[in-house]
Amino acid sequence: MPLSATHKAVLALGLTAARHLDEECCDDEDDAILAKRRAARGILYKGVQGAPAHVTSLDGVAPYLSKNAGELKRDVGLDNADVRAAHDLLTTLALGVRNNDGDGIAHPALGPDGCACGILELAGLVEQRIRSALGNAEINLPPDDPAVHYATYLVEEHDLLTTFRVGGKADIVPSPRIVYLMLKLGEVFTARDMLHLAYTLHHELVCHAFQSALSDGPRINAHHKCHWTEGWMDTLAHDLTKAWIAEDMRPANWIALAGESAVGEVRNFHDERYLRPPRMEKNDVKRRRWARDAYRAFVKTLERAALARSKEEADRLGEKFSLLLNTHAEADCKRLRKLATNLRIALVSRKRLEPAISVVQAGLAFVHDRNLNLLEQRVELAVVS
């Protein structure tokens, strides 16, 4: 569902509050400064509440954002750096409103058709990062291939958005592939919501959007009980998100919360998927957890068996193996799910180092020969050994 004019205004105001005015991210303890930030956040909250009545057409979005920027300046003043940043962002967003539904292909620097109100800029940053990770794994994809189209929608209520306000899904059958982002309306967004959004983007791209990226044939979408996609690859998505929000890497104008609080929040979001995922049988939840454990065991075995020279190299090889496998021309989620079961048996259930080492050696061989049939055979051998 494309963004309506009202939703564009709501999203622009809500995200501005999350990016610059979340009290949790304020370094200052001065009550006067905190009061200013609260007042500024209150103006944006009022703006969100008033959007349905005041923004009824796309032509009304930019003036409404400018009006709210004006209120920040008039009622709070711009002597505080964060309030000034929020004011400047709203002014920029007002100039960047495009007469479309806000969906499209993402670029870190918005193209002429990219509407500034939504999440296309953030999606572009994450997509660029994932494409770079794919490049590091020697997966040679043309710069914009496969193309990914982003669609954002705001929902009043959703039975799957109870603990958190951000969700996502992907459809890789059509071209371009589509990543849907879902945000729940309510209060203005927080800096923690932005972390959930960053994680969701990483998840949809790493686990889904680039699955079978090298395939020219028909593609299939993964069900949420696919433990390869939602367990093994999700663990990699978590690690990539965690690395991205590190102090020196994160785009601070999007991700305001940093340090242990940010890492912990991403971990909570990740963990929830393994503790109480909705619409899953108990055994499927177990398989998801085992797939996560198997990914960790793969990397650990690289280190323990001295197949990697350092933890960093082990992490890099685990990432490379996973990305190569997930994007492989002959791989789809059903084949990968079967393989993930065997990987788990050898890496986790056998409780012996030998099968784990055999699987990791098979993985390293795959990194070189990229032969999926051989990998499957080698892993099966490790399982029965």
Largest CA distance in the chain: 74
Question: Counting contacts by CB under 8 A, is residue 91 touching another protein?
Answer: no
Complex with another protein: residue 231 or 363, whichever CB lies closer: 231
Cα–Cα distance, 266 to 192 (Å, whole number): 8
Instruction: From 142-150, 220-228, 241-249, 288-296, give the range in contact with another protein by CB under 8 A.
Output: 220-228
Question: Counting contacts by CB under 8 A, is residue 192 touching another protein?
Answer: no
State the minimum distance, in angstroms, from the CB of residue 41 to another protein: 27
Cα–Cα distance, 215 to 224 (Å, whole number): 22
Complex with another protein: residue 73 or 169, whichever CB lies closer: 169
Which of 86, 116, 117, 178 is the binder for another protein (CB under 8 A)?
Answer: 178
Which of 67, 73, 84, 169 is the binder for another protein (CB under 8 A)?
Answer: 169
Half-sphere exposure for 92 (CA within 13 Å, toward CB): 11
Instruction: From 125-133, 169-177, 286-294, 303-311, give the range in contact with another protein by CB under 8 A.
Output: 169-177
State the minimum distance, in angstroms, from the CB of residue 196 to another protein: 9
Structure tokens at 188: 């203005």
- Which secondary-structure segment (H or E) carries 334? helix 333-344
Complex with another protein: residue 34 or 280, whichever CB lies closer: 280
Structure tokens at 86: 């929020």
Complex with another protein: residue 94 or 336, whichever CB lies closer: 336
Angle between the N-to-C axes of helices 311-327 and 353-369, in degrees from 0 to 180, rounded to the nearest 10: 60
Q: What's the first-to-final CA gap in the chain, in angstroms?
A: 51
Complex with another protein: residue 210 or 366, whichever CB lies closer: 210
Instruction: From 22-30, 168-176, 259-267, 361-369, give the range in contact with another protein by CB under 8 A.
Output: 168-176
State the minimum distance, in angstroms, from the CB of residue 327 to another protein: 16
Q: Which residue has the tokens 């209520």?
A: 157
Complex with another protein: residue 12 or 122, whichever CB lies closer: 122
Structure tokens at 64: 């409404």
Question: Counting contacts by CB under 8 A, is residue 226 touching another protein?
Answer: yes
User: In sequence order, what E strands does 40-92 have?
Assistant: none
Site track for another protein across 122-161, x = CB under 8 A: ------------------------------------x-xx
Question: Counting contacts by CB under 8 A, is residue 185 touching another protein?
Answer: no
Which of 16, 68, 91, 229 is the binder for another protein (CB under 8 A)?
Answer: 229
Nearest to 336 by CA among 369, 372, 363, 300: 372
Which of 53, 281, 306, 384 is the binder for another protein (CB under 8 A)?
Answer: 281
Q: Which residue has the tokens 């012996």?
A: 352
Which of 284, 293, 319, 332 is the binder for another protein (CB under 8 A)?
Answer: 284
Where does residue 289 rank: exposed (0-12), middle (13-18), buried (19+ CB within 10 A)? middle
DSSP tag of 151: E
**Got the DSSP string for 180-221?**
EEEEE-SSPP-HHHHHHHHHHHHHIIIIIITTTTT--S---P
Which of 66, 128, 215, 221 is the binder for another protein (CB under 8 A)?
Answer: 221
Question: Counting contacts by CB under 8 A, is residue 361 touching another protein?
Answer: no
**Got the DSSP string for 243-303?**
HHTSTTTS-TTT----HHHHHHHHHHHHHHHHHS-SS--HHHHHHHHHHHHHHHHHHHHHH
Which of 192, 225, 250, 378 is the binder for another protein (CB under 8 A)?
Answer: 225
- Could you list the residues that contact another protein (CB under 8 A)? 158, 160-161, 167-171, 178-180, 182, 200, 203-204, 207-208, 220-226, 229, 273, 278-281, 284, 333-334
